[in-house]
Amino acid sequence: IPGYGFMTASFGLATFPRHASSRDTLVVAADRALYHSKTSGRNQVSVPPESDDDGTFLDVDTLPSIETAVEVN
């Protein structure tokens, strides 16, 4: 963009039913993938990581739904 510098794009890609079993957890999985893209150097496309930093598997289906999280906060 002239006058502003370069633009990069990072994407998180999650698919049903491979990465989640509901609409809410699919969004959470895609968000995790996007975060992974941004922390891994940006300007890339990522799928949800299979494990967290400590090596343990995180099943996105065990996370609270997005609606519940919004209501609480």
Q: H or E segment at 37?
A: helix 23-39
pLDDT single digits (tens) 16-65:
988 888 888 889 899 989 988 888 888 899 998 765 554 334 455 545 54
Q: Is the whole-model pTM more than 0.85? A: no
pLDDT at 56: 38
DSSP 8-state code for residue 39? H
Q: Could you give the residue ranges of the DSSP H alpha helices within 1-73?
A: 23-39, 66-72
Q: Which residue shows structure tokens 């609409």? A: 23
Residue 42 is encoded by which pair of tokens?
A: 């940006």
